Chains A and B, each alone.
Chain A
Amino acid sequence: MTFLEVEKVSKSYGSNKAVEEVSFSIAEGETYGLLGPNGAGKSTTISMIVGVLRPDSGSIRIGGRPHGVGNNATKAQIGFVPQELALYPDLSAWDNLMFFARLYGVSGAEARRRCGEVLELIDLADRARENVSAFSGGMARRLNIGVGLLNRPRLLILDEPAVGVDAQSRNAILESIQRQAAEGVAVLYTTHYMEEAERLCDRVGIIDLGRIRAEGTQRELVSQVGEDDTIVLSLSGGTERAVLALKKIPQVREVSTEGSEVRLLVRDARSTVPLVLETVADSETVLRSVEVREPDLETVFLHLTGKALRN
């Protein structure tokens, strides 16, 4: 059953259209990934859904009810984990949790019980009385997520919650999100890490320049780019010269760069790699490594937007 419905939502800052007619929906127990690079419009979209920003146009419904900045009944059903650490560093983990629990109308013994459960869930029970300022980045990230779970939300919205954390913490964070979805919570997850989206999301919306470019399951999206492979080259010196030359190879459909890394979307990697290596050598560029990848969400993104996801 659909729990979140976003219908043609737009938001502009002056002449800059940050989000343009974005529409998607999420069912109970479903995890929806909003995949896009920095500045694509993910955070603006999230801000409108959590009721911080007013959309210029369009509508949002939560649990079938109209939702907006002043609608506290629908706001109470959302658990929100912002991209930035939204915690009071001069308060303990326990005090932070209790404060936000009370804001959501949970108080007394029930608040204490939920805070205890959340601390267990995020594996910080033994650090509950320490000030957040003493926490590592990963611990603070876990607490940041824990705050979003206090009100037992029916819609959990996470805006790049695992940015800048170590692999172990990231794994713990992703596991806790999977548990929420398994319990029937609708999850909206934004990221520019393809691996996270592939692991967590039932469906993915690819957003760029404020618009949803494609939407569907991973299989559906990958099928949009056919059987194209990706060749990833790591170059040193003369990258621009090499890119110009690589674009002239007929089998190469897309070229994108990120620093010294060049990604090529090609029809048949096996037959194209020798041509690519020859072209790089002719452009007097040093080739440090070469990697061939099967089609994935990264490929889809490159195909749809002409640029790499992490640009």
Chain B
Amino acid sequence: MRAFLTMVGKDLRQRSRDGTLIVFALVLPLGLAFLLNMLLGGDPEEDFSARYGVVDADGGELASMFVEDVLEPLEGEGILELRTFASEEEARESVEAGEIDAAFLVPDGFTDDLHNGDSVELRVLGDVDSPDEVQVADGVAEAFAAEYHRVELAVTTAEPSEEERAELALRAAEAPAAVRVVEDTDADWRQLDSPTYYAAGTAVFFLLFAAMPGVVSLFEERRTGTLVRLSASPVSTLGILAAKLASTVLVGLVSMVILITVSTFSFGAEWGDPLGVTVLTVAMVLAAVGIMSAVAGFATNAEQASSWATVVAMLLGLLGGALFPLANLGGLADLSYLTPHQWFLRGLSDLSTGDGLGSVLLPVGVLLAMALAGASVALYRMGRMLHP
């Protein structure tokens, strides 16, 4: 353990003197996040205007009430533009094409089920590119659900007796909401606000670059001749490689902590539940180091390792929606699930709904699996460097 800590300490000392690390780990992500947020993030004080669609598969009284009494008055006030679609497919295509920000999907049987006292779903299909507009649509649907519940109770209890009042009050308190609003996650929409999205995106984008000096350092050790001395020392191969990876992980964690702190206080990023963010961040750093180490493990020298790692970091960052929304990728968006960036941002999105650690178990699991796979490949390949 002492030798392990000695090697980690030496590596951290060398990394701390590396000016390019400061640039990649702090200056670039913060600068780019600030710029993107300023240029693309929009001003929250500006007048709100959204483009919504509605699919009324029910055609009944209550569905019409939602459209005519809720949505159309808002359109009349200029808050939104409303389009009507014949089917969910048409609405989805329009959302994915960016023609509308969100669509309300009123299912067949909506009115009858409500009259029968059954619970129904009012779905909101959101555009990944319009998080604010989707949030408002969600709010409108929630408001209707709450209002309908209240009105329904009032209708059923017209001129009740004292006993009936007491019984209905009890039922009202215990009854689930008649209308349940369902957010459609199939469309990959996320609720991260602009400052958080750009801060998180640029942080993880540059995290892979910040990990590069660490994973390439083994090649540097070989170039300077010190690798032979390490290999000849009474330290196991696993210990040497683990120390290399550990120092890189620590650099990544420090970088992320600084970026999260600065972005929170300087441009209002809201990362979510601290415990969830901590676990998600640790998993992301491990995944980044694992993947970059695996890539470097296939190189034959430091220059090649740096080049390959740069290409992979760029590709994963772009495919993972770290710098611009996934909707811009069109058919390639599905590939984002192969990137740690997507899972990290998705985890943050899940946290932003107000849920805690439990909501990010899937993203954390995927990230840890990526970390494990990458580290396994790296340990095998780099172990051969130490003892050919």
Task: Name A's B-contacting residues (CB within 8 A).
Answer: 47, 50-54, 69-70, 72-73, 75-76, 78, 80, 82, 84-91, 99-100, 102-105, 107, 147
In the assembled complex, how far is the CB of residue A188 from the closest CB belonging to chain B, in whole angstroms?
13
Are A103 and B231 in touch, CB under 8 angstroms?
no
Stretch at the interface among B6-14, B73-81, B196-204, B249-257: B6-14
The residue that A78 contacts in the complex, of B10, B232, B235, with Cβ under 8 A, is B232
Q: In this assembly, does B3 line the interface, its C-beta being within 8 Å of a C-beta of chain A? A: yes
Query: Do A84 and B232 touch (CB < 8 A)?
Result: no
Residues of A within 8 A of B369 (CB): none
CB distance from B317 to the nearest CB of A (A): 30
Contact digits for B221-235, partner A, Cβ 8 Å, 1 yes 0 no: 000111011111111
- Give 20 pairs: A residue, B residue, CB < 8 Å, sorted on A: A52-B386, A72-B234, A82-B232, A84-B224, A86-B225, A88-B10, A88-B226, A89-B224, A90-B14, A91-B14, A99-B6, A99-B10, A102-B2, A102-B3, A103-B3, A103-B6, A103-B235, A105-B2, A107-B2, A147-B229
Enumerate chain B residues within 8 angstroms of A85, measured Cβ to Cβ.
Answer: 224-225
* A109→B387 CA distance, assembly (Å): 32
On whether the beta carbons of B233 and A90 are closer than 8 Å, the reply is: no
Inter-chain contact A86/B224, CB cutoff 8 Å: yes
Give, as a whole number of angstroms, the nearest-CB distance from B153 to chain A: 74
Residues of B within 8 Å of A75, CB to CB, are 232-234
Q: How far is the CA of A107 from the CA of B5 in the complex (A)?
A: 12
Contact between chains at A88 and B235 (CB < 8 Å): no
By beta carbon, the residue of chain B nearest A98 is: B6
User: Which residues of chain A are near B10, meaning CB under 8 Å?
Assistant: 88, 91, 99
Number of cross-chain contacts by CB at 8 Å: 76
Interface string of B354-388 (1 = CB under 8 A from A): 00000000000000000000000000000000111
Q: How far is the CB of B228 from chain A (nearest CB, A)?
A: 5
Docked-complex contact A88 and B14, CB < 8 angstroms? yes
Which residues of chain B have C-beta atoms less than 8 A from A88's C-beta? 10, 14, 224, 226
Residue B266 CB within 8 A of the other chain: no
Contact of B236 with A by CB under 8 A: yes
Interface of A is mostly: loop
| Residue among B2, B14, B233 with max Cβ neighbours from chain A (10 Å) | B233
* Chain A residues near B232 (CB-CB < 8 A): 50-52, 75, 78, 80, 82
Hey, which chain A residues are within 8 Å of B6, CB to CB? 99, 102-103
Cβ 8 A contact of A76, one of B225, B228, B234: B234
Complex contact A52–B231 (CB within 8 A): yes
Closest to A79 in B: B232
Establish whether residues B236 and A72, one from each chain, have CB atoms under 8 Å apart when the complex forms.
yes
Closest chain B residue to A49 by CB distance?
B232
CA distance A84 to B6 in the complex (A): 23
Q: Which residues of A contact B7 (CB under 8 A)?
A: 103
A161 CA / B151 CA spacing, docked (Å): 92
| A14 vs chain B, min Cβ distance (A) | 12
**Which of B224, B225, B228, B231 is the most central at the interface, judged by chain A CB atoms within 10 Å of its CB?**
B228
| A93 smallest CB distance to B (angstroms) | 14
* A51 close to B235 (CB less than 8 A): no
**A residues near B237, Cβ cutoff 8 Å:** 69-70
Q: For the complex, what is the distance from the CA of A120 to the CA of B10, rounded to whole Å?
A: 24
Residues of A within 8 A of B3 (CB): 102-103, 105
Q: With the chains together, A103 CA to B7 CA distance in Å? A: 8
Q: How far is A251 from B6 in the complex, measured between Cα atoms in Å?
A: 63
Q: With CB as the reference atom, state the residue of chain B lying closest to A75.
A: B234
Please name the residue on chain A nearest to B235 by beta carbon: A103
Q: Which residues of B contact A89 (CB under 8 A)?
A: 224
Give, as a whole number of angstroms, the nearest-CB distance from B209 to chain A: 21
Say yes or no: A52 contacts B387, CB within 8 Å. yes
- List residues of chain A with CB within 8 A of the CB of B230: 103
CB atoms of A53 and B387 under 8 A apart: yes
Partner of B228, one of A82, A99, A100, A107: A82
Provide the bound-state CA to CA distance between A225 and B17, in Å: 58
Question: In the bound complex, how far is the Cα of B230 from the Cα of A73, in angstroms?
Answer: 15
Chain B: CB-nearest residue to A73 = B234
Measured CB to CB, the closest approach of chain A to B15, in angstroms, equals: 11
Which residue of B17, B231, B233, B236 contacts A104 across the interface (Cβ within 8 Å)? Answer: B233
Residue of B nearest to A103 (CB): B233
| Given A69-B237, A100-B233, A103-B235, 6 more pairs with CB closer than 8 A | A86-B229, A88-B10, A88-B226, A90-B14, A90-B17, A102-B6
Partner of B224 from the list A52, A72, A87, A147 (CB cut-off 8 Å) is A87
